[in-house]
Amino acid sequence: MKKFSEIYERFIALGADEQTSKNELKRIKLFNGFCLVWYLIAVSLVLSELVSGNVVGSMVTLRNHLPFCVVISIAQFLISKKKYELSYSIFILCLLATCFIFSNMLSVGELTEYYYLLVPPIALVFFDNNKINYIILILALLGFVVPNYIYNYYPEHSFDELTNPLLLISVFIIVNYFKNLNIKNEKALKLKTEELEELDEFKSQFFTNISHEIRTPLTLIKGEIDDLKEVAKFNSDVLKVQLGVNNQVEKITKIINDVLDLAKMETSDFKLNLKKASVTNLLKKIYVNFEPIFKQKNVHFFLNIDNKNYFSEIDTLFLERALNNIVVNALKYTDSGGKVVLELKHIESKLLVSIVDSGIGISDEGKQKIFDRFYQIDNDINRAGGSGIGLAFSKEIIELHNGKIYLDSKLGQGSDFTIELPLKEVKKEGLAVETQNFNTKKVYEKEFKLNTSTSKVKKILVVDDNREMRQYLISILKKYNCIEAENGVEALQKLQKNSVDFIVTDYMMPKLNGYGFIKTLRKENYDIPVLMLTAKTDTKSKIDVLKLGIDDYVVKPFEKEELLVRIENSLHNQKKKNLYNSEYKLSENVENEEENQTLIQKLAKYIQENIHKTEISQEQLSNYFNVSKSTLYRKIKSETGLSPNEFIVEIKLQRARELLNSNPDILMKQLALEVGYQHTSYFSKIFYKRFGIKKDELVE
């Protein structure tokens, strides 16, 4: 059946291709349709004669119809060669000839002359040229009227002189009128479409131009503000201004980028870079990124996912931006004390990401329009800011992922934005996670509780003998609660009175230096992450302190961002470590800490010795040290807070950092290869994420 319909489609569109205009396609289909009907009539007439046993009659019918069938198949051949007018002309002449032969020879007196009535209207469909249409009308008229005058086939009352030609002409005029009306409408429609397209193009171009125009002064402002950095180091007021302006510049840049991307999306050459990637991981990342600002506003934030890993074809960068917009809105429109849930479910072959908030909700009118560009509902929150571009951007991105976005909302009760994406694969979590029945949802909820219970600002102990340096560090770390100490001895005293989340310490100090201080900390079982500030030349001391198991070190002079990123990372890893401990280690109470530490040291040594290899995997480690994958996972996680893969990456990055310190001119590519990364861009990305040092700050 399917084959039959395919053959029919091909037959009916014979002579058309992608370039054929809509109008021409209609004519071609009509022409081929007529030809098909003609063949079918001829065949059925011959067959019916045969079935009724009239072989002679069937031969006569065949003789009568065959020549016409041959001629129209020639016309079809010509149409397949795109000789449209010629084929239509042959077809119309064929119709006229058939009428002539039937009315004057084969069926005289059977009123077959009336078929002439059809020919001029049919010709009107095929030809736009008025001359051709009038010639056909005259030929039909002559064929219709003249023979009867010469041969007198009918009595006068049944073939009246004037009414018949008038009938033919009026049919022609009526069909011609509707045809012209149709042409006029089509032209007007085409003109309107062109105007709209032009307007749309102008709009996109305008967006693009204006956005580029805004970008230039923005870059300049950013440059000027960056110049304030040096002054800001020692003046907290200037620092405040610098941070404030930077913050606003970033906001505007984000809006501008969204506008530019939206404009780009309208051109056909915009393409997402779709790759199979984990949506579960993306949501975890979004959750972790947003969690602190939710906490700041005191909005409860939950991640609701199961312990499987769901994959879809996504452009991680763009999808993250799209989801970020919706999460930001959820936070923006939910009051303190409210709740936002980020959830991942799957139904058959579809992944559903929901962002549900208990915020102000959206009216029915608003629901219709909020995905329109620049649309904002008029309320107090919007009056204070926003651009109305976020959701339009998100929707476009989601649709480019072959996805859909749904909104369910009630004014005063909250909103539920659900994004549907095609599901490509489901993987069970890593072995350790599976065997331990690691319930991610539970962990995240637990993490949330943990965070809220310790929702106080983190406390950092800053240890440095230089007063100005301490002041500078405290100004950089002003989002934390800082206490200070002049040296190791004083720091130990402060630790007895305060519970501290993080320590930043200098290496060279009087009384008790950094090395001695950390050694004492370890001896006295303080499990606080430490970041050491070292001078560039102190290679040996760096190695010494690393051996003590400190979390990180930063070489002076350092960039503010670098310091902040590294403290954030350490705090984050510590959080994971605590979480893991509270989840398993403490409850199981079977782990031997010393034994673990030696295993960790052995693992680190093994990774360092094989650092240039691209493939150091979890399997390799578990085979080499003869421990199961789940044990390996548990031990690394409990000691470091990292998964085995994160642990491998961490050691590689630490090594890269050392290499960079000892040879600042090293090429990025070489650095990547030294620690077993073949793709420099990927390496520089994770290096930046870890240490806050940008790729272009290194010599490429």
b/e for 297-336, b at 16 or more Cβ within 10 A? eebbbbbbbebebbbbbbbbebbbbbbbbbbbbbbbbbee
CB of 575 to ligand ADP, least distance (A): 28
Q: Which is nearer to ligand ADP, 288 or 377 (CB)?
A: 377
Using the minimum distance from each CB to ligand ADP, give the nearer residue, 386 or 516. 386
Residue 391 sits in the site that holds ligand ADP (CB under 6 A):
yes
Q: Which helix (H) or strand (E) holds 301?
A: strand 300-304
Q: Are 488 and 513 in contact (CB under 8 A)?
A: yes
Binding mask 16-35 for ligand ADP (x = CB under 6 A): --------------------
* HEC readout, 348-399: CCEEEEEEEECCCCCCHHHHHHCCCCCCCCCCHHHHCCCCCCHHHHHHHHHH
What pairs with residue 303 in β-bridges? 342
Burial label, 543 (beta-carbon count in 10 A; 0-12, 13-18, 19+): exposed
Closest separation in Å from C-beta 399 to ligand ADP: 15
Tell me the closest approach of the beta carbon of residue 245 to ligand ADP, in angstroms: 21
Q: Which of 314, 588, 320, 569 is nearest to 437 (CA)?
A: 588
Cα separation of 444 and 643, whole Å? 16
Q: Which of 622, 623, 671 is nearest to 647 (CA)?
A: 622
As measured in angstroms, the least distance from the Cβ of 373 to ligand ADP is 8
**Least Cβ distance, residue 324 to ligand ADP (angstroms):** 11
Closest CB to ligand ADP among residues 334, 654: 334
Binding residues among 424-453 for ligand ADP as defined by CB under 6 A: none
> Which residue, 329 or 684, has its beta carbon nearer to ligand ADP?
329
Determine the Cα–Cα distance for residues 65 and 42; give it in Å rounded to an integer: 6
In the numeric block, the tokens 């073939």 are attached to 159
For 26, the enclosing helix (H) or strand (E) is helix 22-51
Minimal distance, residue 176 CB to ligand ADP, in Å: 53
Region of 14-22, 267-275, 282-290, 384-392 interacting with ligand ADP (CB under 6 A): 384-392
Closest to 151 (Cα-Cα) out of 93, 94, 103? 103
Minimum distance from residue 280 beta carbon to ligand ADP (Å): 23
Q: Which of residues 122-161 bind ligand ADP (CB under 6 A)?
A: none
Radius of gyration of the chain (CA): 40
Told to check if 386 binds ligand ADP by CB under 6 A, we report yes
Nearer to ligand ADP, 392 or 603 (CB): 392
Site for ligand ADP in 315-354 (CB under 6 A): 325, 329-330, 333
In the shown chain, the binding pattern of residues 398 to 427 toward ligand ADP, with x for contact by CB under 6 A and - for none, equals -----------------x------------
Handedness of CA 383, 389, 390, 395 (dihedral sign): positive
Q: How big is the CA angle at 254 (ends 200 and 369), to the nearest 5 degrees?
A: 50
For ligand ADP, the closer of residues 236 and 289 by Cβ is: 289
Q: Please report how close the Cβ of residue 407 comes to ligand ADP at its closest, in angstroms.
A: 9
User: Cis link prior to 557 (omega < 30° from 0)?
Assistant: yes
537 exposure class (CB count in 10 Å sphere: 0-12, 13-18, 19+): exposed
Name which position in 133, 309, 387, 541 contacts ligand ADP (CB under 6 A): 387
CA dihedral sign of residues 570, 571, 573, 577: positive
Q: Site for ligand ADP (CB under 6 A): which residue of 388, 519, 568, 673?
A: 388
Of residues 372 and 425, the one with the C-beta less far from ligand ADP: 372
Give the residue, chosen from 253, 382, 435, 581, that forms a contact with ligand ADP under the rule CB under 6 A: 382
Q: Give least dist CB 405 to ligand ADP, A.
A: 11
How many residues touch ligand ADP under the rule CB under 6 A: the total is: 21
Cβ atoms of 656 and 675 closer than 8 Å: yes
Specify the residue, 92 or 362, whose C-beta has the smaller distance to ligand ADP: 362
Which has the closest alpha carbon to 139: 105, 165, 173?
Answer: 165
Shortest distance, position 251 Cβ to ligand ADP, whole Å = 10
Q: Is the CB of 370 or the CB of 632 nearer to ligand ADP?
A: 370
For ligand ADP, give the closer residue by CB, 145 or 328.
328
Pick the piece of the chain touching ligand ADP (CB under 6 A) from 119-127, 169-177, 383-391, 640-648. Answer: 383-391
Nearest CB to ligand ADP, comparing residues 358 and 680: 358
Q: How far apart are the first and last CA of the chain?
A: 63
What is the smallest separation between the CB atom of 258 and ligand ADP, expressed in angstroms? 9
Q: How far apart are CA 300 and CA 295, in angstroms?
A: 7
In 84-226, DSSP assigns E strands to: none
Q: Using the minimum distance from each CB to ligand ADP, give the nearer residue, 330 or 460.
A: 330
If the CB atoms of residues 376 and 638 are measured against ligand ADP, the closer one turns out to be 376
Q: Site map for ligand ADP, 282-321, x if CB under 6 A? A: ----------------------------------------
| Nearest CB to ligand ADP, comparing residues 259 and 518 | 259
Convert residues 351-380 into a mask of x (bound to ligand ADP by CB under 6 A) and - (unbound): ------x-xx-x-------x----xxx---
Report the C-alpha gap between 168 and 160 in whole angstroms. 13
HSE-up (13 A, CA, CB side) for residue 322: 32
Scan for tokens 């079809």, then name that residue. 76
Residues that bind ligand ADP (CB under 6 A): 325, 329-330, 333, 357, 359-360, 362, 370, 375-377, 382, 386-392, 415
